[in-house]
Amino acid sequence: MTNQRLTFEVLADSLGVCKLDSNQTIPEWAYQGKFFSITKTPDELSIVCSEMVIPGDVQCEIGWRALKIAGILDFGLIGILSVVATALAKAGLSIFAISTYNTDYILVKSKDLERALHTLSSEGHEIIMGEFEK
């Protein structure tokens, strides 16, 4: 497990996590905005995107905020998500994690954002208020 201090960038947009049928094609609205994540499995098509673009008839949970772990994480690092998830779980906070090639994004409910930031800061991690990548 890592003892590394992490830097978290708080992304500006409020996000929604949507569930569509696995046989559906990816809708155009999913590509709008600067941040989106699409995962297709045999069971579902899951889309995370700006809640402002999600049609009203789509099954989703809105009100998520993303914390980006700044920098590029090496694939050999062990326990990054565990450190974050454990700290937030001890504070009674639920997360939704998204991993990319370069880094991880931790989603927390908007109502829990301040408590999540306080928890991570008290664990020695740095918090920066940011925008989406240019």
The mean predicted confidence, pLDDT, of the chain is 89
pLDDT band at 82 (very low <50, low <70, confident <90, very high): confident
Q: Sketch out the chain's domains with CATH numbers.
A: 7-129 (3.30.2130.10)
Pairwise CA distance, residues 110 & 62, whole Å: 9
Q: How many CB atoms lie within 10 A of CB 47?
A: 25
CA-CA distances (angstroms) from residue 35 to 12, 39, 47, 51, 106?
10, 14, 11, 11, 13
**pLDDT exceeds cutoff 80 at 79:** no
What is the CB-side half-sphere exposure of residue 7 using CA atoms within 13 A? Answer: 8
- Position 70 scores a pLDDT of 82
Three-state SS for 54? coil
Is the model more confident about 19 or about 73? 19
Residue 134's pLDDT band, with cuts at 50, 70 and 90, is: very low
Q: 114 pLDDT band (50/70/90 cuts)? A: very high
CA 75/CA 92 separation, integer angstroms = 28
